[in-house]
Structure 1
């Protein structure tokens, strides 16, 4: 009985660690896949529909409906420049000097994986990313 409780506790700790690692330790390819869409795949005249389609296309609703995701509608090479001199260090992250066209998608309801609904907000803002070497690997936030 004690062995099974210890095994379950260790398993829970390991799973928690892996979940944190999967969120923080993205590769540049993961970052690009999750956060860039150029040229824009769908019109933003219906940003809610854009978000639903993009979240499905990028498989970001495979297990749960992701609360929020931002799609940067700019050339990936321009986004990479944030980590190559077109950014200002901010703690362990980097703030972009330039602003980017983007759509911020916020979950509004519905079950995963196919019926997650999103509210999309097109905007043009600066971004904050985590750089690993000369590549962005984690999207932190957007700012004015």
Structure 2
């Protein structure tokens, strides 16, 4: 009886530690994922041809690997400016923060073609406010742009 309590206790502690590590690493991945999916500064490609920009960015960032993602937005502004939305340069709204400033960005929309290498996109340059979810003073989810 005592040995079964000890073995259960020994198994529970590593499980708790593993759970804490997964939660902690998930936060870091979420921040990194936000930057990877939505920040492109300095611009990787010229936006003078926004359709080509979107097609290349979506492929480069892995958003055409299995399916052609329908839409995405790439913010072409200083990353720290986007982080500041979570640190006082944004207005809390429900579970989100609406930026007080506008950002240069390109809005990308899928127009056709099969994955992974033939997804085509149209791009529209814009200068808009954004809405993000923040975790630990960092943006972790892009919700939408705000006009």
- Pairwise TM-score range, normalised by the shorter structure: 0.7 to 0.9
**Deviation at 1:35?**
0.1
Partner Cα distance (1:81, 1:114) in 2 = 35
Which structure has the greater CA radius of gyration?
2
Hey, which bits of structure 1, 4+ residues long, moved more than 4 A? none
- 2:120 corresponds to 1:117: yes
Within-5 A mapping of 1:51-62: 51-62=54-65
Which residue of structure 2 aligns with residue 28 of structure 1?
A: 31
Partner of 1:9: none
2:117 counterpart of 1:102: no
Q: Equivalent of 1:89, from 87, 92, 96?
A: 92
TM-score w.r.t. length of structure 1: 0.81
The count of corresponding residues between Structure 1 and Structure 2 is 120
Note the C-alpha offset of 1:133.
Answer: 1.6
Q: Distance in 1 between matches of 2:45 and 2:59?
A: 13
CA shift at 1:131, angstroms?
A: 0.4
SS in 2 for 1:27: helix
Question: TM-score normalized by structure 2?
Answer: 0.80
Once the two structures are superposed, what CA deviation does each residue of 1:2-58 show, in whole Å capped at 9, x if it has no partner?
A: xxxxxxxxxxxxxxxxxxxxxxx8611100000000001111110000000001111
Indicate the RMSD between aligned Cα atoms, in angstroms.
Answer: 1.0
